[in-house]
């Protein structure tokens, strides 16, 4: 189903719908856009709500009734305030009972968790994504109060996933069919669908979530399903930056980056995008814009196919400030292949991502970096995997270099450009910053350098200056 007007899928993040004033701003933006384009909206929960829900559930499962009673009040208060400020009386009469219903669901789930002293992953998904249901109701009602026909839609009716609760993977084709079918009648009637981000459902209809920050992913899934002309991700920053501005004050917005560059930046923790966001739009080459709700006149960053003839070299830097390097040595007892196979198998069982990997083969040494938050987990996984070998002194216990930071240089056009690593090394060397480990793959899309965590600011600044970003 196509109309002559361009179709834009627009996602609004938690801060963009954080209070009544913000929701009002979103409604105005959507109403404006809807004058010239067909708009499909995807929303996150109000900022902080998901954290609060998860905390309340955790406390409930420990038998603490106070925390979730407090969370219940807060949930009611924040959503009620938006309704009171923005909605006409008629709308309030419709929406308040539906908000109350969700708050009832929250209470039932928490009291269930507190009775059994346990949270099942399935129960957690139903609970942690209630914020999205509530914000979708409010944003749709705020649009109607502005005279724009709109309807809240629960993404459990659109996004079909596996049953990996907490971090479910969508089935793309089924999602596309369901999304198109469910939204077609609304679109025909000229209604703006306001879809809950973050949520999906299994084929059997059980609610799942797409991982923290997953509403970006919801937006590109829905955008791709509808063959949108563009996906706009509205957030609280002006776009993708050349580096983290808290580390490099001279950092600035990158007007255009490629899909691969964006995916690389997101993987290494650039906060602006959920790491899986790019996947759904790649095939159809749908451009994704990052825009700032609080500064809508700034054009933002366009993520799309790599522009021809772009400037060679580094496009942006990203950093993982809290990481650890782990070294496992097979001595001459285990071949490198066997060592690596067993290390990665033990990590894959718990879905632990590695940030960089290097091999120094003379002594069968494998070195890799993980997020500091995963360290304890990784250590015990490795100790278990190599229990016998360590006991018999076949291999050394894994060694950890703690408190490293990883600085990543990203750029599609670094490929085949000589001298980039040399310049980065030089910039660090001149400032006496030691590089602990290095990784670059043959795609030459990124170069990762591990440095002492205490020197991360200086390191990123040096590289930012060197490449005149």
From residue 261, alpha-carbon distances to 7, 242, 354 in Å are 25, 12, 18
Using CB under 6 A as the binding rule, the residues of this chain from 73 to 132 that contact ligand ASP are 131
Phi, then psi, of 106 in degrees rounded to 5 = -60, -50
Residue 221: φ, ψ to 5°: -65, -45
Asked if 356 contacts 331 with a C-beta cutoff of 8 angstroms, the reply is no
Among the residue ranges 26-34, 43-51, 187-195, 286-294, the one whose residues contact ligand ASP (CB under 6 A) = 43-51
Nearer to ligand ASP, 156 or 215 (CB): 215
Residue showing the smallest CB distance to ligand ASP in the complex: 215
The reply on whether position 18 binds ligand ASP by CB under 6 A is: no
Q: Contacting ligand ASP (CB under 6 A), which of 15, 50, 292, 455? A: 50
Cα–Cα distance between 7 and 415 in angstroms, integer?
35
The CB-of-55 to ligand ASP minimum distance in angstroms stands at 12
CA distance 14 to 212: 12
For ligand ASP, the closer of residues 78 and 187 by Cβ is 78
Residue 170 within binding range of ligand ASP, rule CB under 6 A: no
Q: Which is nearer to Mg ion, 57 or 439 (CB)?
A: 57
Binding partner of 239, given Mg ion, ligand ASP, none, CB within 5-8 angstroms per partner class: none
Confirm or reject binding of residue 197 to ligand ASP (CB under 6 A): yes
Question: Which of the choices ligand ASP, Mg ion, none does residue 398 contact, using the CB cut-off of 5 to 8 A by kind?
Answer: none
Give yes or no for residue 275 binding ligand ASP (CB under 6 A): no
Residues near Mg ion (CB under 5 A): 13-14, 44
Subset of residues 202 to 231 that bind ligand ASP, contact rule: CB under 6 A: 212-215
Q: Shortest Cβ distance from residue 269 to ligand ASP (Å)?
A: 15
Residue 219 CB, nearest approach to ligand ASP (Å):
9
Rounded least distance, CB 288 to ligand ASP, Å: 15
- Which pair of structure tokens corresponds to residue 281? 């739009």
Binding residues for ligand ASP, rule: CB under 6 A, are 13-14, 44-45, 50, 131, 197-198, 212-215
């Amino acid at each position: 189903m196509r109309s002559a007007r361009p179709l834009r899928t627009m996602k609004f993040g938690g801060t963009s719908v954080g209070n009544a004033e913000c929701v009002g701003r979103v409604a105005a933006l959507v109403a404006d856009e809807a004058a010239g384009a067909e708009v499909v909206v995807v929303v996150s929960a109000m900022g902080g709500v998901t954290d609060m829900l998860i905390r309340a559930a955790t406390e409930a499962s420990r038998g603490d009734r106070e925390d979730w009673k407090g969370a219940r009040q807060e949930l009611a208060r924040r959503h009620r305030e938006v309704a009171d400020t923005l909605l006409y009386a008629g709308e309030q009469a419709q929406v308040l009972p539906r908000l109350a219903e969700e708050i009832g669901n929250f209470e039932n789930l928490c009291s269930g968790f507190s009775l059994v002293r346990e949270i099942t992953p399935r129960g957690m998904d139903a609970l942690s994504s209630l914020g999205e249901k509530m914000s979708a109701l409010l944003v749709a009602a705020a649009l109607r109060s502005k005279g724009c026909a709109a309807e809240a839609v629960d993404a459990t009716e659109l996004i079909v996933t596996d049953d990996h609760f907490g971090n479910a993977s969508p089935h793309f084709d089924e999602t596309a069919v369901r999304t198109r079918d469910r939204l077609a009648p609304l679109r025909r009637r000229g209604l703006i669908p306001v879809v809950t981000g973050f949520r999906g459902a299994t084929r059997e209809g059980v609610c799942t979530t797409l991982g923290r920050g997953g509403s970006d992913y919801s937006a590109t899934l829905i955008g791709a399903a509808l063959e949108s002309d563009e996906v706009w991700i509205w957030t609280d920053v002006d776009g993708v930056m050349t580096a983290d501005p808290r580390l490099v004050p001279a950092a600035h917005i990158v007007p255009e980056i490629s899909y691969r560059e964006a995916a690389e930046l997101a993987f290494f923790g650039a906060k602006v995008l959920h790491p899986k966001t790019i996947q759904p739009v790649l095939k159809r080459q749908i451009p994704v814009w990052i825009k700032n709700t609080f500064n809508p006149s700034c054009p933002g960053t366009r993520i799309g196919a790599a522009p021809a003839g772009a400037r060679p070299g580094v496009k942006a830097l990203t950093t993982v400030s809290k990481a650890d390097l782990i070294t496992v040595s097979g001595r001459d007892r285990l071949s490198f292949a066997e060592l690596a196979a067993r290390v990665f198998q033990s990590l894959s069982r718990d879905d632990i991502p590695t940030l960089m990997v290097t091999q120094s083969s003379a002594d069968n040494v494998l070195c890799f970096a993980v997020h500091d938050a995963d360290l304890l987990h990784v250590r015990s996984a490795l100790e278990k995997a190599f229990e016998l070998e360590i006991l018999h002194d076949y291999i050394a216990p894994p060694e950890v270099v703690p408190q490293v930071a990883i600085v990543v240089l990203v750029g599609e056009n670094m490929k085949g450009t000589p001298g980039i690593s040399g310049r980065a090394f030089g910039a660090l060397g001149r400032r006496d910053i030691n590089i602990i480990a290095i990784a670059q793959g043959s795609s030459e899309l990124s170069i990762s350098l591990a440095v002492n965590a205490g020197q991360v600011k200086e390191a990123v600044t040096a590289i930012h200056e060197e490449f005149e970003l």
